[in-house]
Structure 1
Protein backbone atom coordinates (compact mmCIF):
# COMPACT_ATOMS: atom_id res chain seq x y z
CA UNK A 1 0.00 0.00 0.00
CA UNK A 2 1.19 3.52 -0.69
CA UNK A 3 1.98 5.86 2.15
CA UNK A 4 -0.13 8.95 2.67
CA UNK A 5 1.64 12.21 2.02
CA UNK A 6 2.85 14.10 5.06
CA UNK A 7 1.67 17.70 5.27
CA UNK A 8 3.54 20.40 7.16
CA UNK A 9 2.17 23.72 8.36
CA UNK A 10 3.61 27.08 7.39
CA UNK A 11 5.30 27.71 10.74
CA UNK A 12 7.09 24.37 10.65
CA UNK A 13 8.36 25.04 7.13
CA UNK A 14 9.65 28.51 8.04
CA UNK A 15 11.38 27.25 11.18
CA UNK A 16 12.93 24.39 9.24
CA UNK A 17 14.30 26.73 6.56
CA UNK A 18 15.74 29.02 9.24
CA UNK A 19 17.31 25.99 10.91
CA UNK A 20 18.87 24.98 7.58
CA UNK A 21 20.26 28.48 7.08
CA UNK A 22 21.69 28.68 10.61
CA UNK A 23 23.49 25.34 10.54
CA UNK A 24 26.32 24.40 8.24
CA UNK A 25 25.23 20.77 8.06
CA UNK A 26 24.62 19.16 4.68
CA UNK A 27 20.99 19.17 3.60
CA UNK A 28 20.95 15.38 3.46
CA UNK A 29 21.94 15.19 7.11
CA UNK A 30 19.21 17.62 8.15
CA UNK A 31 16.69 15.69 6.06
CA UNK A 32 17.60 12.50 7.92
CA UNK A 33 17.33 14.26 11.30
CA UNK A 34 13.87 15.58 10.53
CA UNK A 35 12.75 12.55 8.51
CA UNK A 36 11.80 14.77 5.58
CA UNK A 37 12.76 14.07 1.95
CA UNK A 38 15.75 16.10 0.74
CA UNK A 39 13.86 17.35 -2.31
CA UNK A 40 11.10 18.68 -0.08
CA UNK A 41 13.65 20.67 1.92
CA UNK A 42 15.21 21.99 -1.30
CA UNK A 43 11.80 23.19 -2.48
CA UNK A 44 11.14 24.93 0.84
CA UNK A 45 14.49 26.71 0.73
CA UNK A 46 13.92 27.77 -2.89
CA UNK A 47 10.45 29.15 -2.12
CA UNK A 48 11.79 30.96 0.92
CA UNK A 49 14.47 32.62 -1.21
CA UNK A 50 12.03 33.50 -3.97
CA UNK A 51 9.28 34.86 -1.69
CA UNK A 52 10.85 35.89 1.63
CA UNK A 53 7.71 37.72 2.81
CA UNK A 54 5.20 35.01 1.90
CA UNK A 55 7.15 31.83 1.17
CA UNK A 56 4.50 29.27 2.02
CA UNK A 57 0.87 29.95 1.21
CA UNK A 58 -1.68 27.30 2.01
CA UNK A 59 -3.37 25.06 -0.50
CA UNK A 60 -5.88 27.03 -2.55
CA UNK A 61 -4.56 30.37 -1.31
CA UNK A 62 -2.75 33.00 -3.30
CA UNK A 63 0.11 35.27 -2.42
CA UNK A 64 -0.97 38.82 -1.66
CA UNK A 65 0.35 40.09 -5.00
CA UNK A 66 -1.34 37.29 -6.95
CA UNK A 67 -4.64 37.97 -5.17
CA UNK A 68 -4.45 41.66 -6.06
CA UNK A 69 -3.80 40.81 -9.72
CA UNK A 70 -6.72 38.36 -9.75
CA UNK A 71 -9.06 40.95 -8.19
CA UNK A 72 -7.99 43.60 -10.70
CA UNK A 73 -8.49 41.21 -13.63
CA UNK A 74 -12.02 40.43 -12.41
CA UNK A 75 -12.76 44.15 -11.97
CA UNK A 76 -11.44 44.85 -15.46
CA UNK A 77 -13.67 42.14 -16.93
CA UNK A 78 -16.72 43.58 -15.15
CA UNK A 79 -15.95 47.09 -16.41
CA UNK A 80 -15.50 45.83 -19.98
CA UNK A 81 -18.92 44.14 -19.79
CA UNK A 82 -20.50 47.34 -18.44
CA UNK A 83 -18.91 49.36 -21.23
CA UNK A 84 -20.21 46.94 -23.87
CA UNK A 85 -23.73 47.19 -22.43
CA UNK A 86 -23.59 51.00 -22.36
CA UNK A 87 -22.37 51.10 -25.96
CA UNK A 88 -25.29 48.90 -27.05
CA UNK A 89 -27.74 51.04 -25.10
CA UNK A 90 -26.32 54.22 -26.63
CA UNK A 91 -26.64 52.71 -30.09
CA UNK A 92 -30.26 51.65 -29.44
CA UNK A 93 -31.32 55.01 -28.01
CA UNK A 94 -29.56 57.01 -30.72
CA UNK A 95 -31.60 55.14 -33.38
CA UNK A 96 -34.88 56.26 -31.78
CA UNK A 97 -33.98 59.94 -32.13
CA UNK A 98 -33.54 59.77 -35.90
Structure 2
Protein backbone atom coordinates (compact mmCIF):
# COMPACT_ATOMS: atom_id res chain seq x y z
CA UNK A 1 0.00 0.00 0.00
CA UNK A 2 1.45 3.35 -1.03
CA UNK A 3 1.88 6.15 1.44
CA UNK A 4 -0.05 9.26 0.39
CA UNK A 5 2.17 12.30 -0.02
CA UNK A 6 1.11 15.08 2.29
CA UNK A 7 1.01 18.65 1.08
CA UNK A 8 1.54 21.69 3.22
CA UNK A 9 0.56 25.29 2.74
CA UNK A 10 3.07 28.07 2.32
CA UNK A 11 2.04 29.49 5.69
CA UNK A 12 2.61 26.17 7.47
CA UNK A 13 6.09 25.86 6.00
CA UNK A 14 6.99 29.43 6.91
CA UNK A 15 5.74 28.95 10.47
CA UNK A 16 7.69 25.70 10.77
CA UNK A 17 10.86 27.47 9.59
CA UNK A 18 10.28 30.34 12.00
CA UNK A 19 9.75 27.86 14.83
CA UNK A 20 12.98 26.06 13.92
CA UNK A 21 14.94 29.32 13.88
CA UNK A 22 13.53 30.98 17.00
CA UNK A 23 12.48 28.25 19.41
CA UNK A 24 15.93 27.06 20.45
CA UNK A 25 14.76 23.44 20.23
CA UNK A 26 16.69 20.95 18.09
CA UNK A 27 15.40 20.71 14.52
CA UNK A 28 14.84 16.98 14.97
CA UNK A 29 12.48 17.61 17.90
CA UNK A 30 10.51 20.27 16.01
CA UNK A 31 10.17 17.99 12.98
CA UNK A 32 8.99 15.14 15.20
CA UNK A 33 6.42 17.45 16.87
CA UNK A 34 5.14 18.47 13.41
CA UNK A 35 4.99 14.85 12.24
CA UNK A 36 7.59 15.37 9.53
CA UNK A 37 11.04 14.03 8.80
CA UNK A 38 13.91 16.22 9.97
CA UNK A 39 15.25 16.21 6.40
CA UNK A 40 12.01 17.82 5.22
CA UNK A 41 12.25 20.60 7.79
CA UNK A 42 15.92 21.08 6.96
CA UNK A 43 15.01 21.37 3.25
CA UNK A 44 12.33 23.97 4.04
CA UNK A 45 14.83 26.00 6.09
CA UNK A 46 17.39 25.86 3.29
CA UNK A 47 14.83 26.91 0.68
CA UNK A 48 13.65 29.78 2.87
CA UNK A 49 17.25 30.95 3.39
CA UNK A 50 17.91 30.87 -0.36
CA UNK A 51 14.68 32.46 -1.63
CA UNK A 52 13.38 34.44 1.33
CA UNK A 53 9.87 35.78 0.81
CA UNK A 54 9.50 34.00 -2.54
CA UNK A 55 10.17 30.57 -1.03
CA UNK A 56 7.47 27.91 -1.38
CA UNK A 57 5.74 29.30 -4.49
CA UNK A 58 3.25 26.42 -4.60
CA UNK A 59 2.17 24.05 -7.29
CA UNK A 60 2.21 25.64 -10.72
CA UNK A 61 3.80 28.85 -9.49
CA UNK A 62 7.38 29.56 -10.40
CA UNK A 63 10.05 31.95 -9.34
CA UNK A 64 10.79 34.70 -11.86
CA UNK A 65 14.01 32.92 -12.88
CA UNK A 66 12.20 29.63 -13.47
CA UNK A 67 9.49 31.40 -15.48
CA UNK A 68 12.08 33.16 -17.64
CA UNK A 69 13.92 29.85 -18.17
CA UNK A 70 10.66 28.17 -19.23
CA UNK A 71 9.91 30.94 -21.72
CA UNK A 72 13.43 30.87 -23.16
CA UNK A 73 13.30 27.09 -23.59
CA UNK A 74 9.96 27.39 -25.37
CA UNK A 75 11.29 30.13 -27.66
CA UNK A 76 14.40 28.05 -28.36
CA UNK A 77 12.24 25.06 -29.34
CA UNK A 78 10.14 27.21 -31.70
CA UNK A 79 13.26 28.61 -33.35
CA UNK A 80 14.63 25.08 -33.86
CA UNK A 81 11.37 24.01 -35.47
CA UNK A 82 11.42 27.03 -37.80
CA UNK A 83 15.06 26.32 -38.73
CA UNK A 84 14.27 22.68 -39.50
CA UNK A 85 11.32 23.66 -41.68
CA UNK A 86 13.48 26.11 -43.63
CA UNK A 87 16.18 23.47 -44.12
CA UNK A 88 13.60 21.03 -45.51
CA UNK A 89 12.13 23.69 -47.77
CA UNK A 90 15.58 24.57 -49.07
CA UNK A 91 16.21 20.91 -49.86
CA UNK A 92 12.88 20.58 -51.68
CA UNK A 93 13.34 23.76 -53.75
CA UNK A 94 16.95 23.04 -54.61
CA UNK A 95 16.03 19.62 -56.05
CA UNK A 96 13.81 21.31 -58.59
CA UNK A 97 16.65 23.55 -59.82
CA UNK A 98 18.57 20.68 -61.49
TM-score (norm 1): 0.68
Question: What does residue range 1-98 of structure 1 map to in structure 2 within 5 Å?
Answer: 3-86=3-86, 89=89
Alignment size in residue pairs? 98
CA distance in 1 between partners of 2:20 and 2:4 (Å) = 25
Structure 2 runs not aligned, ≥5 long:
none
Q: Deviations over 1:20-74 (max 9, x none)?
A: 2122221122223333322221111122122224322334543331121111111
Deviation at 1:84, TM superposition (A): 4.1
Deviation at 1:17, TM superposition (A): 0.7
TM-score (norm 2): 0.68
